[in-house]
Amino acid sequence: MNKELIIDGTDHVAGKLAAFIAKKALEGYTIHVLCAEKLVFTGPMHRRVSMYKSYLNKRNVVNPARGAFHYKEPSKYFRKVFRNMACRKTVRGKEAANRISVYEGIPKQFENVERLVVPKALREVTTDIDRKFIYLGDLLSKFGWNCATLCESLKEDLLAREKMLKEKALKQKSEIENLKESESFKAEVDKKMSQYA
């Protein structure tokens, strides 16, 4: 049984997806979450901005080098969303956290690989379609994450290559089907089969 999941995080509600992957990681699955910048937080932008500003004020008074660490990359920020759901201070939770990988965009090693979605974490399924929402990448772009355009352009290039390969594969398949239906192919098969009769 394959215990590896590759999930495209586009338009997934961050908290609901984190709960799902926490449960799967505790069950022993290795999980890769792609497109972390396209994860969704419900609610208006100004509310999330004020929450992030209050998060920036949290620090260790004795020694700030001990934390709290204010991540600006969507992948690291999403890991903070996930980590409390996996009981990270237990041995089982630490092992589960080590089985989770989060990426911005789609890395090259996941090109032409089937990417899953989690229906019960999709924004269209779980929330009111009229409710305001923001993408994690848009929020963190206001606080110093400046790789959004690069990440989007690399993702578009990868998707274009995948589309071209799919079209090529479909074309080859249709050519093979046409060849199988041709009279010359059937005559050649009959000739070969007659040798073994």
One domain for residues 31 and 62: yes
Confidence (pLDDT) at 187 = 80
CA–CA separation, 172 and 181 (whole Å): 14
Picking from 103, 99, 121, the residue whose alpha carbon sits closest to that of residue 4 is 99
Q: Output Rg (C-alpha) for the chain, integer angstroms.
A: 24
H or E stretch including 84? none
One domain for residues 32 and 101: yes
One domain for residues 92 and 179: no
Q: Is the dihedral of CA 141, 110, 155, 45 positive or negative?
A: negative
One domain for residues 130 and 53: yes
Confidence (pLDDT) at 23 = 92
One domain for residues 54 and 123: yes
Question: For the chain, what is the domain count?
Answer: 2
The residue type of 132 is: K
Beta-strand relationship, 100-102 and 30-34: parallel
Q: Is the dihedral of CA 77, 81, 87, 93 positive or negative?
A: negative
Backbone phi, then psi, for 84, in 5-degree steps? -70, -20
One domain for residues 123 and 174: no
CA–CA separation, 15 and 81 (whole Å): 7
* Mean per-residue pLDDT, 107-115: 89
Q: What CATH number did the domain enclosing 97 receive?
A: 3.90.1180.10
One domain for residues 24 and 86: yes
Do the beta carbons of residue 106 and residue 158 sit within 8 Å?
yes
Q: Which of 62-66, 83-87, 128-132, 149-153 has the lowest mean pLDDT?
A: 83-87
Q: Which DSSP symbol is given to 38?
A: G
The string of pLDDT tens digits covering residues 7-55 is 999 999 999 999 999 999 999 999 999 999 999 999 999 999 999 999 8
Residue 68: pLDDT above 80? yes
One domain for residues 126 and 74: yes
One domain for residues 56 and 132: yes
Domain of 123 in residue numbering reads as 4-146
One domain for residues 173 and 94: no
